[in-house]
Amino acid sequence: MASNPDLRGLQLPRFEKAVLQLDKITRNIQEVALSMRMIPIAQTFLKMERLVRDLSVKAQKKINLQIVGEETEVDKTIIEQISDPLVHLIRNSVDHGLESLEERRAAGKSETGHIKLEAKHSAGEVWITVEDDGKGLDRAKILKKAVEKGLVDEDAAPGMKDEDVWKLIFEPGFSTAEKVSSISGRGVGMDVVKKNIEKMRGKIDIRTRSGQGSMMVLRIPLTLAIIEGMVIRVGGSRYTIPINSICESIKPKQEQITVNPDGMEIVRIRGELLPVIRLHELYDTTADYEKLTDGLLIIVENNEKKCCLFADELIGQQQIVIKGLSGYLGHVQGVSGCAILGDGDISLILDIGDLINAAETGNKLCADKKNHPKNNNKVTQTV
Q: Is 92 exposed, middle or buried (0-12, 13-18, 19+ CB in 10 A)?
A: buried
pLDDT tens digits for 90-145?
988 888 889 989 999 998 999 999 999 999 987 667 899 999 999 988 888 888 88
Helix (H, G, I), strand (E, B) or coil at 207: strand
In a shared domain, residues 254 and 293 = yes
Q: What angle do CA 377, 381, 383 make, to 5 degrees?
A: 70
Least confident of 171-175, 326-330, 363-367: 363-367
Q: Which residues 6+ apart lie within 8 Å of 210 measured at CB?
A: 135, 136, 137, 138, 139
The stretch 279-299 carries a mean pLDDT of 91
Question: Does residue 198 share a domain with residue 279?
Answer: no
Classify 113 as helix, strand or coil: strand
**With pLDDT > 90 as the criterion, what percentage of the chain qualifies?**
29
Q: Is residue 86 domain-shared with residue 206, that is, in the same domain? A: yes
Percent of the chain whose pLDDT exceeds 70: 86
Q: Is the pLDDT of residue 372 over 90?
A: no
Greatest Cα pair distance in the chain: 79
Domain that holds residue 360: 226-371
- Residue-level pLDDT at 375: 42
Per-residue confidence at 172, pLDDT binned at 50, 70, 90? confident
Domain-terminating residue out of 198, 221, 244: 221
Write down the pLDDT at residue 159.
86
Of residues 222 and 340, the one with the higher pLDDT is 340
Burial tier of 263 (Cβ tally within 10 Å: 0-12, 13-18, 19+): exposed
What pLDDT was estimated at residue 378?
A: 39
Query: Is there a single domain that holds both residue 214 and residue 234?
Result: no
pLDDT score at 187:
46
pLDDT class of 6 with cuts at 50, 70, 90: low
Mean pLDDT of the chain: 82
pTM passes above 0.75: no
CATH number of the domain within which 292 lies: 2.40.50.180
Domain boundary among 194, 221, 248: 221
The answer to whether residues 160 and 78 touch, using CB atoms and an 8 Å cutoff, is no
How many domains does one find in the chain?
A: 3
Say if residue 268 is in the same domain as residue 346.
yes
